[in-house]
Amino acid sequence: MEKRTNTRVLDATFRATQTNWMKIRDKTGDRLVLRDDQGDKALAMSFLSGALVLAAAWFAWEGLWVPAGVSLAAAPCSFLYLKLTRIRSTITFDRLKDAISLVVESRTGTETWDWRLSDLETAQLNEHRRDNTSNGIFRPDLALKDGTHVPMRPYFSAGSQSWNAVAAVKLFLGQKLEGTPVGWLPPEEFDRFFADEMKKLR
């Protein structure tokens, strides 16, 4: 009984930290919409701002007014950084229109890219390597039939989180989930939107 409780807590903790992936916003038999609004970055900036405020309070308690003022003044900068650098990526797969549309919104404007769904071979992980060494950082990519690889979002993150977007596209295409990262737990969205497909995998 104790082991079962620990497993549930571990599973809940893992799911709660999976903020850094392209969430399923809409899914029907003919349409899939994934969106990534960098919720992890917002969370990180909130923690940073809170830490700076606590540091300012501690410095003030110790009578160190200059460091306290600097820390307090720096706290809002984290949110300014978030506002200036945050990117939202929305990718839509539409069978009826034979279309894939990627929309990237940032402070500098909105850019849109379009492909034909019939030109899509599969989705896969693209690993970010440094000095030819694996570091566990990936980005979900679309692999087109002509050999072209298209990033589904402009940045890299942990492999298991990036795999969520890849898995969603594969299931939408009716493909098997080959190459699943060790220990991967499907987010709750998969149980809602891909219930039938997930049952076939069990």
28-60 pLDDT, tens digit per residue, is 889 999 988 766 655 566 666 777 777 778 878
Whether the Cβ atoms of residue 100 and residue 117 lie closer than 8 Å to each other? yes
Q: Model confidence over 11-24: pLDDT tens digits?
A: 333 333 344 567 88
Q: Strands 137-144 and 149-151, how do they pair?
A: antiparallel
Query: CA-to-CA distance for 188 and 202, rounded, in angstroms?
Result: 16
Report residue 46 as tokens.
């909130």
Tally Cβ neighbours within 10 Å of residue 168: 30
In this structure, the number of other CB atoms found within 10 A of the CB of residue 78 comes to 19
For the domain made up of 19-37+88-201, the CATH class stated in words is: mainly beta
Count Cα atoms within 13 angstroms, Cβ side, for 28. 6
Provide mean pLDDT across the span 2-17.
35
Q: Measuring CA to CA, which residue among 173, 160, 165, 157 is closest to residue 189?
A: 165
Q: Which structure tokens are listed for 138?
A: 């990936």
Q: Examine the pLDDT at 116 and tell me if it is beyond 90.
A: yes
- Closest among 153, 89, 152, 146 to 120, alpha carbons compared: 146
The amino acid sitting at 3 is: K
Domain residue ranges of the chain, discontinuous segments joined by +: 19-37+88-201, 43-84
